[in-house]
Structure 1
Amino acid sequence: MPRLSRLLIANRAEIARRIIRSARGMGLATVAVYADPDAHAPFVTEADEAIALGGTTAAETYLDADKLIAAAQRAGADCVHPGYGFLSENGAFAEAVIKAGLVWVGPRPETIRAMGDKLAAKTLMAKAGVPTLPAVAVESPAQAAQAAAAGLEYPLLVKAAAGGGGRGMRVVRRAEDLIAAVESARREAQGAFGDERVFLEPFLEGIRHVEVQILGDRHGQVIHCFERECSIQRRHQKIVEEAPSPALTPAVREQICQAAVAAGRAMGYESAGTVEFVLDARGRFFFLEVNTRLQVEHPVTEAITGLDLVREQLRIAQGERLEHKQEEIGVQGHAIEVRLYAEDPAHDFLPAAGRLLAWEEPAGLGARFDSGVEAGSEVSVHFDPMLAKVIVHAATRTEAALRLATVLERLRLHGVTTNRDFLVGVLRHEAFLAGDTTTDFIERHRPPRRREPGEAELRWAALAAGLGDQARRRAGARVLRTTPSGWRNNPSAMQEARYHHGQVEVLVRYQRERDGAFAWECLGQGGRARLEVVSMPGGADGAPAWDATADLEVDGVKRRLRLLAHGDHWWVQGGAGEVRLVEIPRFPLPVHEQVRGAHTAPMPGRVVAVSVAPGDRVIPGQTLVTLEAMKMEHHVTAVAAGRVAEVRVEVGQQVDGGDLLIVVESEDEAG
């Protein structure tokens, strides 16, 4: 088979950049494809060539097989890598690529189809001697779910038959909730995978999610690359992954890896794939599914084995034999990966959107960043909100966890709400460090959803913002630049600045002295401080944000800080992480009257279901509207009992965060 020369990447963001790196290392030219919101994304500019797909949503672009194949032909590509997500596990797309005369970088279409049908996959695995859990398909309409569940015990898990990644998945604890869960899972599965089929299986609690990386070539060889543990999840989506698993004994490790190899041989597997299992407290494991693609968490396997899994995929696709025998693959140290998402853990991990005002990866800590963004990137509501994967490889698990936490704290990331602080809380949690990482970790241990700075750190941040603001104003002045900002002929009066940090109001007062230092008062303390601006990289090009590195000395103690001001928002970053402040204006703008009983959109999205009509009575927690954002469904629920007075939206409508959706009158108002 001739060597591959020109690769089209049918994906976006960080995985597209990751594939570009390995392809270039093998001498392949790379072609990216992009949706309109991604026109200026890093993966587009890094590829040798990029082709616009024309469209905004996933359905119009990365899920449109005809557009992707046409782009490959137009670019003169001879092979297609699907990455993960989108059409990576779509057998029809793989077959269409091959029929178009292109090489598919992945397993055979029939393998994808067989494993894409999760129920058929379970049957095949059982025949191969791999332990499995019972499962049953749910036929249309959704009401058929009750009959399908008759032989199963609650709680149940509704799962998409054609995809993973936490999408199209619902936990059902009561029979009366089953139909609604099936309908919601079907909508989400259709939107994410173009296939609404779902099935039911027992939902096991307090378990671990352990998966085994396999490689197979076209010459009948199948090997494993050891396991990963991915138990810490939110919304059934992995957020912390590690290799090897801290829970496996050598005997169980051998058994589970051999089961994965048996699964691969039963499929005649070619390319990189992952066999997923659940592991209970007694060391028993059960087959979950096969991901016939590269996994998001593949870097931890690369770290402990030294393999380049994308390179292996490309080698296998051009007909080469596996480069390593099983006995040549070993484990060195421990690797942990976290998924950095634009989302708000304090509000049930709702996706966030906006513009990244700053993105600087810390150097010198030995971390690997697989990122899809840079400073200035727009985080869109149309796609998955993952910004980056951050990976640390160390000699021990504890060292890897603590160093990764430090890397996250030192990552400069401003402008969009993220789960960074939550991830740091997980990595530093005693239970995590002890290896107590079951799938209910978040519910049992409740790591902090956001970092709360202590009073001393808050004082430093407010003082840095106050003194930084006067330095900014002085630097931006067109005349009298040497005159101190806020100068007045009454030298006894101190300047004031007020900030909000969450619900906390912070007042900082300061006065410039003759030697250039400042007398200050803040949160019940006072003293002398001096701020020296070292550099202002963000101010030279007229950017709306003021970006500076500054040395702040307070009563003889000096810290180097990074300051970013954008509008009335300040971000102050030191060694322990960032503190975000919002300046309180001296003359507040008038506040418009709030609509009583208003239920608003928590984020931008598309309305996929309106569950009530004017005049309906509702109870607390009842779903009013369902939004789809970043390929996930989010329910807007009633906060109190009452009667629906207004419905302001309809199915298919696009809404912005804060838009009014439903007005519910209270019981008293409704009469």
Structure 2
Amino acid sequence: MFNKVLIANRGEIAVRVVRACCDMGIRTVAVYEPDDMGALHVRLADEAHPLPRQGDYRNPDAMLTIARQAGVDAIHPGYGIISEHPGFVRACEEIGITVIGPGSATLEQVRNKIDTLEKVRAAGIPTTRPSSRAFSPSESEAMFAEAEAIGFPLVVKAHAGGHGRGTHLVYNREMLLNVVQRSSGAAQAFYGDAHVYLEAAMPASRYIEVPVLGDTHGTIVHLGERDGSIQRNTRKVIGESPAPGLSQEQREAIWASALKVAHLFNIHGVATIEFVVDQAGQHYFTEIKPRIQVEHLATEMVTRIDTVREQLRIAAGEALGYTQEQVRLSGVAIFCRINAEDPWHGYMPSPGHINSFRIPGGPNVRVDTYAYAGTDVPVHYDSLLAKLAVWGATRSECLNRVHRALQEFQIEGVRTNLGLLRLIVNDPEFVAGTYTTDSSQHHLTEAPVTDDNLGDLAAIAALAFLALNREASPVTPSAFTSGWYHDSRRLGS
């Protein structure tokens, strides 16, 4: 097993990896930019090193320099851009540092999404329908011809990288060039490759992802499936495992396809094989995410498998030690992504100081976060603030628990999407489990106001009125009248 691991990331995933390493007796090294000097992952790690410049969380060279200085034998990149950077992984391999995740050869293969789709299709697995090649924004004539051949609506995607950056839905020819330019700019900024490709859209479909674990001894297992259909800007805001609305036959067919894809690309560590399921129930492979994902909490709750621990074990050369038959899927888990943003004003990011941070508790409730009362939400990073996951023996129990947990979750000082999440989990489509990728576009109606709500609102209004109209009058602090205070005044006399 490793002696010292560098966590090449920040935020809640860095905290998550530090804790997993600590549980396994592995020393940890954190990195931080100036805005993150007091961050939780920095406080929890055994040692911490400053990054030279703002933005170096995405800088492979800066990470490699610190890895050498700190004398680590492994690097865990979380799910940042570096986690899918084959050049970075290759450079680490050459100097004997293990990167926790698939090797550089696998990353090179899956980075080219069109080639990946063609390889999977050749293996007999249905795939989504992409353009014949990738395009730069200047190739508008060829791109328009390809778009007409595919047909609208279609999706524009970044040719490299797998974080959803640069992914946009296009409904007609008039939108295409403008969207491609925006997608290309985002792809260049995040992946260093401005090329994009086109893909036939599947309206009202389901987005199903299958996490897999593969060791270096030839064993690969799946960990069930999650439904990630409810998204905002291609980021999944709610995930659910198992996916509702699938028959057992559909489920098993998707699992079989996922394992076949994982073997096809010789997956080591944790990866996610992603599919789109159309309205007829047919599944189509769409891409591989060769890393742990934000939503891994839901999978861990239904399998009771610590996927970060498994990543570390596999990277150290250990065998999984269990077969597919020994993986037990139990109950239902729902995941919610809490962002520091304002859904009611164009999803504007909401950096700032957190004055109060109360997380929900109770059995089968989990919160992964870097935040606490008194911390600052920096302006430079992703708005992801916390992740909530709950488990229930049945979906009904799980729904009740997620309603309660979202009501308990209170954050003051920055705006969040907690109100939106509460609306989504109360939406009839979500409650029925019939939601699709189109559900995110629907108008969400407010939950009906009850008599209890009216009573609470009246009390709040009364307190606000008193606070606004209270006359200023001197008050002696209660601490000054205590026996402790009087005794302290006599000390030394």
Same fold (TM over 0.5): yes
Equivalent-residue separation in structure 1 for 2:449 and 2:121 (angstroms): 46
Give the corresponding residue for 2:426.
428
What are structure 2's unaligned runs of at least 5 residues? 482-493
1:86: how far off? Answer: 2.2
Q: Which moved more, 1:24-33 or 1:377-386?
A: 377-386
Question: Is 1:66 aligned with 2:65?
Answer: no
The correspondence of residues 565-604 of structure 1 with structure 2, limited to 5 A, is none
One-letter identity of the residue aligned with 1:461: I
Say if 2:137 and 2:180, in contact at 8 Å, map to a contact too. no
2:330 matches 1:335: no
Counterpart of 1:665 in structure 2 is none
Q: What is the match of residue 444 of structure 2?
A: 446
Aligned pairs for 1:143-158 (under 5 A) are 143=140, 144-158=142-156
Question: 1:226, CA displacement in angstroms?
Answer: 0.9
Q: Give 3-state SS (helix, strand or coil) of 2:223's partner.
A: strand
CA distance in 2, matches of 1:18, 1:118: 29
Aligned to 2:346: 348
Instruction: Report what 1:132 is aligned to.
Output: 127
Partner of 2:43: 45
User: Mean alpha-carbon deviation: is it higher for 202-211 or for 366-375?
Assistant: 366-375
Aligned residues with identical type, % of pairs = 37
CA deviation after TM superposition for structure 1 residue 419, in Å: 0.6
Conserved 8 A contact 1:346-1:450:
no
Q: Aligned runs of 1:219-238 on 2, under 5 Å? A: 219-238=217-236
Task: Verify the 8 A CA contact 1:210 1:228 in the aligned structure 2.
Answer: yes
1:135–1:200: 8 Å Cα contact kept in structure 2? yes
Distance in 1 of aligned mates of 2:153 and 2:63: 40
80-89 or 462-471, which deviates more: 462-471
Trace 1:45-444 onto structure 2 (pairs within 5 A): 45-57=43-55, 61-136=56-131, 137-143=134-140, 144-444=142-442
Residue 288 of structure 1, CA deviation: 1.0
Q: Report the CA distance shift for 1:365/1:178 in structure 2 as closer, same or farther (over 3 A).
A: same
Map Cα deviations across residues 362-410 of structure 1 (whole Å, 9 max, x no partner).
3335310011211122222211101000000111112212211211211
Whose radius of gyration is greater, 1 or 2?
A: 1
Name the amino acid aligned to 1:96.
A
CA separation in 2, counterparts of 1:461 and 1:185? 46
Determine the C-alpha separation between the residues in 1 that align with 2:109 and 2:448. 42
CA offset at residue 7 of structure 1?
Answer: 0.4
Q: Deviations over 1:159-185 (max 9, x none)?
A: 112223332111111112211111101
Cα distance in structure 1, aligned partners of 2:364 and 2:219? 34
Mapping for residues 551-570 of structure 1, pairs under 5 Å: none
Output aligned runs, 1:542-557, within 5 Å: none
Give the corresponding residue for 2:463. Answer: 464
Evaluate the alpha carbon distance shift between residue 370 and residue 474 of structure 1 in structure 2; reply closer, same or farther with a 3 A threshold: farther
Bigger RCO of structures 1 and 2 (CA < 8 A, at least 6 apart): 2
In the superposition, relative to structure 1, how do residues 281 and 371 fare at CA in structure 2: closer, same or farther (>3 Å)? same
Q: Deviations over 1:226-279 (max 9, x none)?
A: 111111111221100010011211111111001000001111111110000001
| Contact 1:118-1:162 at 8 Å conserved across structures | yes
Query: CA–CA distance in 1 between the matches of 2:257 and 2:43?
Result: 42
Structure-2 separation of matches of 1:296 and 1:10: 16
In terms of fraction of residues, the more helix-rich structure is 2
* Contact preservation (8 Å) 1:159, 1:199: yes
Q: Distance in 2 between matches of 1:369 and 1:301?
A: 14
Change (3 A) 1:381 1:476: farther
2:13 to 8, 12, 15: 15
Q: Quick check: 270-279 or 28-37, which moved more?
A: 28-37
The whole-number CA distance in structure 2 between the counterparts of 1:336 and 1:475 is: 51
Structure 1 position 55, deviation (Å): 2.0
C-alpha separation in 2, matches of 1:309 and 1:300: 11
Q: How far does residue 34 in structure 1 lie from its aligned partner after superposition? A: 1.1
Unaligned runs of 5+ in 1: 483-671
Residues paired across the two proteins, number: 476
The superposition leaves residues 407-433 of structure 1 with CA deviations (integer Å, 9 ceiling, x where unpaired) of 121122101111101101111222211
Change (3 A) 1:381 1:405: same
Indicate the SS of the match to 1:138: coil
| Residue deviations 1:297-355 (CA, integer Å, cap 9, x gap) | 11111100110001111111011111210000121110000000111111232222221
Instruction: Give the RMSD, CA atoms, in angstroms.
Output: 2.3
Give the deviation of 1:464 after TM superposition: 3.0
